[in-house]
Chain A
Amino acid sequence: MKIPISWLRDYVDLPESIEEMAEKLSFSGLEVEEIIEVGAALKGIITGKIEEISPHPDADRLVVTQVNDGSKRIQIVTGATNISVGDIVPVSPPGAVLSNGMKIKVSKLRGIESSGMLCSEAELGVADEADGIWILPTNTPVGVDFIDYAQLKESLLDIAILPNRGDCQSIIGTARECATLLNLPLKRPEFKLNESKAETAVDLNSKSADCPLYSLRELSSCSLNKTPLWMQRRLELCGIRPIQLFVDITNYVLLEFGQPLHAFDTNSLKGTSISIENIIASSTFKALDGQAYTLEKDDLVICDESGPIAIAGVMGGKSTEVTENTTSVSLEAAYFDPIRVRKTGTRLRLRTESATRFEKSVDIEGVIEAANRASYLFQTLAGATVKNINVFKSEKDPLFKEKLLNFDPEGINKLLGTTYERKDIQETLESLGFKINGDTLVVPSFRQHDISELPCIAEEIARLKGMENIPSTLPQGPSLKASQLASFEFDQLIQNTLCARGFSEVNTFPMVSEKSFKKAGLPIEGTLHIANPISQDESVMRTQLFVSLLERLSFNRRRQQKDCHFFEIGKAFNESIKPHFEDKRLCVVASGTYFKEAYTETSRQENTYSIFHMKGLLEGLFSDHSISFDSNDSRTFLHPKKQCSILNNEGQIIGFIGTLHPNVASEFDVSDDTVVAEISFLSLDLAPKFPSYQSVSKFPTIKRDLALLAPKELSYGDIKSFLLANKPKLVTDIQLFDVFESDQLGEDKKSIAITFTYENKEASLTDDEVNKSHQDLRTLISEKLPVSIR
């Protein structure tokens, strides 16, 4: 909310410099986001009266005016079309400066001399844009310093009002806070209302608990005078556009007191009774803004005998709007339930000045005062006859009762960690408007909404006494730490290992585009969609991490960063994942060269990452988790021959590794040697394994090699599982040491060479027992596998 300092000074004698006060406000909960200096550049603007307008001899779109500047006539050429002889307007003579810093000089426009400019509101920094020259009220004196007269220079406090401080959504509310903080008296506006004897002849009735207080007052014989400049200026400074006097008065009091008011055209009200009620069945309502809104059950409305005439606290209706023909205004001042107003306003997307105040609660004790203040302004500015106010009040509503809390200085100190004296605490609370009788605390009506328990009171003490005066202590309890969360430590281990292996961590958005799914050929079924995405690029929750990482590879490639080895530990999402629709995963991608500089034969050969490097990497990372690999061709986004599923120790698929399918690589615009791996942590036990020691053998091992000539289609995986299942007891390790194909072997054959390690932990092995055992193995292999031993 924007607070003009000069307005604030009406109610509290602020010190000259406002910086210090702004800081005090910020520390105590009213955050001053900015001190805005309006019209800082302006210089030398005066008021002038247009006495003559004649056409420009050489330009159709320009006119030549003679302007009385209070002492002489000056000639000004202008392109404005909204001026007439007799208008009083702001003038910037030579030497004046406009709000954008432009300095005015004598100039010639199409050959005619022009000694300055007639100014619009935009040029004076009063409005963001303007249709023409600013025509001032006819009673504006001519030849005066207009900057001073119209308060064109002003400092504004831009305050972020927190949701619990509805009481500060007004100039007086802010002034009250300033007065308390600076220990100064608050000067409430003084005015004397002359009420006529006449009654506001209407029958008021609230049928809803959402409206415990409703008042209406007829202001008759109103003249729609021009809104005084000072009022226009204040509205504009606070960001409200002046419209016409009657509306401007209600807005002025809304800003001043924080109490929204509504002005009905009395003559367009049907019948003599007004009721406030919750809608029973949905209906359409045409509001002030000309739009039709659908009201739903429970929305609170004000009705005359024809039906709803206003959405309570949100917006008035078109049919009873005040217009230029209005001569009698019925002024509404009421208290509407905050939640009710918020529900309706939010649903209809009508975040009006009125709604934002009601939803943070207005001061129920201030409603009538605000009505009187507005009536006074109608009386003085529009010449209105003020009739008696008609008030409906649900006397039994708890809002009218004083809110009482226990006064517990000890409890406050205990919560804050302070040792303030009882008297000190009492005085501080009293300065905020609380009353204290013994052990009872009376909450002021304007704070009823947010003060409910001891911590609320403690907060008031903390902020008023200054946060800087709260001591700094460290918690006294014993350290609870047993061990860090296992999965967090596991993540760190993975991160550290991968970094050491040359992979850099990326961090990507979990929502992706449907297009990314299509590019990867992933099914869109079962995915979670965002109901209200900002853009289609981020509208679906990813089901696989690699999609995000491929996008990052592609991004880097477009920036000539082709050698990228990336990983991310992140979440993937799917409707079917229990219990939270998500699982944490690791995704690793490798693209381009691996070594920093590869200038030797062997390093050049090893310089691109193959799926075997990737497999080895994962085997190392997950060596405690008994993962295994199953080669297959089930994933269409991967090369059919270069992919494996990753299985957990129960044989369930928890991920994959593979080289990207060339089509997918080209869709994402990444290199087609890109190798990808993804593994879900969901089913893995990430707790660190407690090492269990096995004694090491004192006896030497014996190694025996075997070279098998196998058909090409027989996979090593199958041979290995056969060997693991059938190996002699003494074999403790089986290692592959060569695989090759050659013309001599034949087109459909390959050679596989394996080392078997024989070991006996109890005794020395003899050649005889190893030979025998190895011979048995050879026999078994030749019999059971379609291979020959070379």
Chain B
Amino acid sequence: MEKEILELKDNYINSIDNVNGLSELDLIKSKVLGKNGELTRFLKQVSSLPPEKRPVMGQLVNKAKSEIMAILSAKQSKLEHARLHSKLSKDGTDASLPGISVKKGHLHPISLVIREIVTLFDRFGFTVKEGPDIESEEFNFEALNIGKDHPARDMHDTFYLTNKQLLRTHTSPVQIRTMLNEKPPLRILAPGKVYRYDADTSHSPVFHQIEGLYVDKNVTLADLKGTLTTFLHSFFGQDYDVRFRSSYFPFTEPSVEVDVKWNDPGSKLHGKWFEVMGAGLVQREVFRQTKIDPDLYTGFAFGMGIERLAMLKYQINDIRLLYENDSRLLKQF
């Protein structure tokens, strides 16, 4: 009997191995383990054996049974998996078809530049301030030490509104608004639109500036140089030379203009200097106008044209392209 059981087991294991279909497997299962299955029969016979032989034979049959069952179930999951796979494989989906998605949207290059500048100055603790586009003579000019008959008014061709207000010619009035409302120390950055009555083709009557102001005790021209150099190196690249030229603005003294030397051997601009911003130490007169004690505080201010920076950085050759908003241009940013 022992030999028969082992033989039976080996036979079935063998035939399970050769099975190719689930129904065939079911058949084998019932043939061996079913109510009248061959192994079930042996199990029944065990009870008719003499008591001393029963445990040994019982163990033998049960062992054979569990071995067969393990192989059966492994085979079964293998066959089920194969059947599902073959079913899924018949699905006609072409996964190379394109994704169904919305077109990507893009930020305007002017916003990109403003964001980058704001982020860089964020590290120096500068926060954004906003001011109105429609300004008064007082904030746009007079408080900035540009009196009504100051020759520097020639630098600002101004749009006036019929209500006697004007469209700000620079973002500098935000300095005044801030200094009137807050006490030093101050570190602010004011991006925004500005307006100049400038009809020629290389200028735009509307453009963007970003103004910076830093007021504290003991602020020096050296601090201005260090801050702006660090900024320009971050914005353009560490290997871009930066230089400062003496200049004049009514609301700063000393005043400087800042140039950057293009460093990209592959570019037409390589080796050329480009003026990128004006800056200077805040005029004492501006402090007096805003009730800040010029003997106690000093500060520096700077202003730059966003379009100019965007055009340099992205190599856009005509300022008007920035306002056409052709979707094929916008897509590239």
Contact A561 B125 (CB under 8 A): no
A559 within 8 Å of B (CB atoms)? yes
> What separation, in Å, do the CA atoms of A720 and B291 have in the docked complex?
57
| Set B152, B205, B216, B323: member contacting A508, Cβ < 8 A | B323
> Which of B48-56, B66-74, B245-253 lies on the face that meets chain A?
B245-253
Residues of B within 8 A of A294 (CB): none
> Which of B19-27, B38-46, B161-169 lies on the face that meets chain A?
B161-169
In the complex with contacts A532-B160, A597-B98, A416-B220 CB distance below 8 A: yes
Chain B residue nearest to A528 in the complex (CB): B161
- B311-330 toward A: CB 8 Å interface, digit per residue (1/0)? 00000000000111111101
> What separation, in Å, do the CA atoms of A487 and B253 have in the docked complex?
32
Chain B residue nearest to A506 in the complex (CB): B325
**Which residues of chain A from 449 to 501 have a CB within 8 Å of any chain B CB?**
453, 455-456, 458-459, 462-463, 467-468, 470-477, 479-485, 487-488, 492, 495, 498-501
- A56-71 toward B: CB 8 Å interface, digit per residue (1/0)? 0000000000000000
> What separation, in Å, do the CA atoms of A484 and B114 have in the docked complex?
14
B105 to chain A, nearest CB (A): 4
B227 within 8 Å of A (CB atoms)? yes
Contact B103 A163 (CB under 8 A): no
Contact A27 B245 (CB under 8 A): yes
A668 within 8 Å of B (CB atoms)? no
Contact B122 A506 (CB under 8 A): no
A147 to chain B, nearest CB (A): 32
Contact A163 B154 (CB under 8 A): yes
In the complex with contacts A472-B225, A474-B223, A484-B127, A555-B185 CB distance below 8 A: no
Residues of A within 8 A of B328 (CB): 559, 561
A420 within 8 Å of B (CB atoms)? no
Contact B246 A462 (CB under 8 A): yes
Chain B residue nearest to A341 in the complex (CB): B149
Contact A165 B221 (CB under 8 A): no
> Which of B1-9, B29-37, B81-89, B130-138 lies on the face that meets chain A?
B130-138
Residues of A within 8 A of B327 (CB): 504, 556, 561, 564
**Which residues of chain A from 396 to 418 have a CB within 8 Å of any chain B CB?**
414-418
> What separation, in Å, do the CA atoms of A508 and B111 have in the docked complex?
12
B3 to chain A, nearest CB (A): 61
B261 within 8 Å of A (CB atoms)? no
A353 within 8 Å of B (CB atoms)? no
B170 to chain A, nearest CB (A): 15
Contact B214 A475 (CB under 8 A): yes
A10 within 8 Å of B (CB atoms)? no
A530 within 8 Å of B (CB atoms)? yes
Contact B330 A504 (CB under 8 A): yes
B226 to chain A, nearest CB (A): 4
Residues of A within 8 A of B100 (CB): 595-600, 603
Residues of A within 8 A of B161 (CB): 528-531, 541
B206 within 8 Å of A (CB atoms)? yes
Residues of B within 8 A of A362 (CB): none
A342 within 8 Å of B (CB atoms)? yes
Interface SS of B by simple majority = mixed
Chain B residue nearest to A164 in the complex (CB): B248
- A337-363 toward B: CB 8 Å interface, digit per residue (1/0)? 011001100100000000000011000
> What separation, in Å, do the CA atoms of A502 and B105 have in the docked complex?
4
**Which residues of chain A from 402 to 457 have a CB within 8 Å of any chain B CB?**
414-418, 453, 455-456
Query: How extensive is the interface on chain B, given as a class?
Result: 35 or more
> Which of A148-156, A252-260, A565-573, A621-629 lies on the face that meets chain B?
A565-573
| Set A467, A484, A533: member contacting B244, Cβ < 8 A | A467
Contact B220 A473 (CB under 8 A): yes
> What separation, in Å, do the CA atoms of A235 and B185 have in the docked complex?
53
| Set A27, A503, A599: member contacting B246, Cβ < 8 A | A27
B115 within 8 Å of A (CB atoms)? yes
B13 to chain A, nearest CB (A): 49
| Set B187, B216, B246: member contacting A28, Cβ < 8 A | B246
In the complex with contacts A487-B130, A529-B161, A416-B222 CB distance below 8 A: yes
In the complex with contacts A163-B150, A163-B154, A468-B244, A418-B103 CB distance below 8 A: no
In the complex with contacts A417-B221, A455-B284, A529-B161, A502-B129 CB distance below 8 A: no
In the complex with contacts A476-B218, A495-B111, A506-B330, A463-B103 CB distance below 8 A: no
Residues of B within 8 A of A103 (CB): none
> What separation, in Å, do the CA atoms of A538 and B111 have in the docked complex?
23
| Set B98, B125, B248: member contacting A596, Cβ < 8 A | B98
B311 to chain A, nearest CB (A): 14
Residues of A within 8 A of B107 (CB): 495, 499, 504-505
**Which residues of chain B from 199 to 231 have a CB within 8 Å of any chain A CB?**
199, 205-206, 214, 216-223, 225-227, 229-230
Chain A residue nearest to B255 in the complex (CB): A459
A32 to chain B, nearest CB (A): 11
Q: Please, how many residues of chain A have a CB less than 8 angstroms from a CB on the other chain? A: 95
> What separation, in Å, do the CA atoms of A502 and B132 have in the docked complex?
30
In the complex with contacts A473-B220, A485-B127, A533-B159, A359-B103 CB distance below 8 A: no
> What separation, in Å, do the CA atoms of A481 and B154 have in the docked complex?
37
> Which of A110-118, A308-316, A575-583, A702-710 lies on the face that meets chain B?
A575-583
Contact A359 B134 (CB under 8 A): no
In the complex with contacts A462-B246, A484-B127, A534-B197 CB distance below 8 A: yes
| Set A485, A498, A500, A581: member contacting B165, Cβ < 8 A | A581
> What separation, in Å, do the CA atoms of A509 and B247 have in the docked complex?
30
Contact B162 A342 (CB under 8 A): no
> What separation, in Å, do the CA atoms of A477 and B122 have in the docked complex?
15
Contact A556 B244 (CB under 8 A): no
Chain A residue nearest to B110 in the complex (CB): A507
B172 within 8 Å of A (CB atoms)? no
> What separation, in Å, do the CA atoms of A530 and B164 have in the docked complex?
10
Chain B residue nearest to A28 in the complex (CB): B246
B58 within 8 Å of A (CB atoms)? no
A524 to chain B, nearest CB (A): 12
Contact B101 A595 (CB under 8 A): yes
A295 to chain B, nearest CB (A): 17
In the complex with contacts A415-B221, A455-B253, A500-B105, A556-B325 CB distance below 8 A: yes
> What separation, in Å, do the CA atoms of A599 and B97 have in the docked complex?
9
A378 within 8 Å of B (CB atoms)? no
Residues of B within 8 A of A564 (CB): 327
- B238-270 toward A: CB 8 Å interface, digit per residue (1/0)? 000001111110100111110000000000000
> What separation, in Å, do the CA atoms of A768 and B122 have in the docked complex?
60
B265 to chain A, nearest CB (A): 23
B78 within 8 Å of A (CB atoms)? no
A552 within 8 Å of B (CB atoms)? yes
A31 within 8 Å of B (CB atoms)? yes
Contact B185 A480 (CB under 8 A): yes
B104 within 8 Å of A (CB atoms)? yes
Contact A504 B331 (CB under 8 A): yes
| Set B110, B159, B229: member contacting A472, Cβ < 8 A | B229
Contact A360 B151 (CB under 8 A): yes
Contact A531 B134 (CB under 8 A): no
B283 within 8 Å of A (CB atoms)? yes
> What separation, in Å, do the CA atoms of A39 and B227 have in the docked complex?
45
| Set B106, B217, B223, B229: member contacting A504, Cβ < 8 A | B106
- B147-188 toward A: CB 8 Å interface, digit per residue (1/0)? 101111011000111110101000000000000000001110
**Which residues of chain A from 517 to 555 have a CB within 8 Å of any chain B CB?**
528-534, 538, 541, 552, 555
Residues of A within 8 A of B214 (CB): 475
Interface positions of B (Cβ within 8 A of A) = 97-108, 110-111, 115, 118, 122, 124-130, 132-134, 147, 149-152, 154-155, 159-163, 165, 167, 185-187, 193, 197, 199, 205-206, 214, 216-223, 225-227, 229-230, 243-248, 250, 253-257, 281, 283-284, 298, 322-328, 330-331
Ranked nearest first, the 7 interchain pairs of A and B with the lowest CB-CB distance are A417-B222, A417-B220, A502-B102, A459-B254, A463-B246, A499-B105, A580-B132
List 18 contacting pairs A-B, 8 Å CB cutoff, sorted by A.
A343-B149, A414-B220, A417-B221, A417-B222, A453-B253, A458-B254, A459-B255, A463-B246, A468-B244, A472-B225, A474-B226, A485-B127, A485-B129, A504-B108, A505-B108, A508-B323, A571-B133, A580-B132
